[in-house]
Amino acid sequence: MIRLRILAIVALCSWLGAQPAQTSRSIWDGIYTDEQAKRGRPLYDQHCASCHGASLEGGESAPALAGGEFLSGWDGLTVGDLFERIRTTMPQSKPRSLSREVNADILAFIFSANQLPTGKTELPNATEVLKEIRIQANRPEKK
């Protein structure tokens, strides 16, 4: 029994090692849709604006969610990191109370407010997928 488990683990590790590396994406690659950001606006207004401001400018005890300082603060991390921070700590009065779908729509609105480009597919709500998308404060140069 133990020998079979070891063989299964070795086979799985071999298979995982043989998989091609995922193409790394960034927030500049159109990772949400305009429709999703539009759905996120009223959700942001309802759950976030009282602390973070109607224009995402921040408040007395809440950071701004738009602008260079916001993007710079997350530079080098992943969308999954940001999503998990929002999902597990917001809204401050009732953390973890919003669904993954609502959090993804709110995050799409935040990206829209930061003038990040839209794409053809909605921002997913699975953390493991979002961890594959880098946050870059500055738009990369086109090759």
The closest of 133, 107, 137, 120 to 34, measured between CA atoms, is: 120
Residue with tokens 């959700």: 43
pLDDT at 116: 98
CATH label, 24-134, candidates 2.40.50.100, 1.10.760.10, 2.40.440.10, 3.90.180.10: 1.10.760.10
The closest of 83, 92, 79 to 135, measured between CA atoms, is: 79
SS (H, E, C) 32-83: CCHHHHHHHHHHHHHHCHHHHCCCCCCCCCCCCCCCHHHHHHHCCCEHHHHH
**Residue boundaries of the structural domains of the chain:** 24-134
Q: What is the pLDDT of residues 6-61, one digit of tens each?
A: 434 444 444 444 443 445 899 999 999 999 999 999 999 999 999 999 999 999 99
Q: What is the pLDDT of residues 64-89, one digit of tens each?
A: 999 999 999 999 999 999 999 999 99
DSSP secondary structure letter of residue 96: T
pTM of the model: 0.83
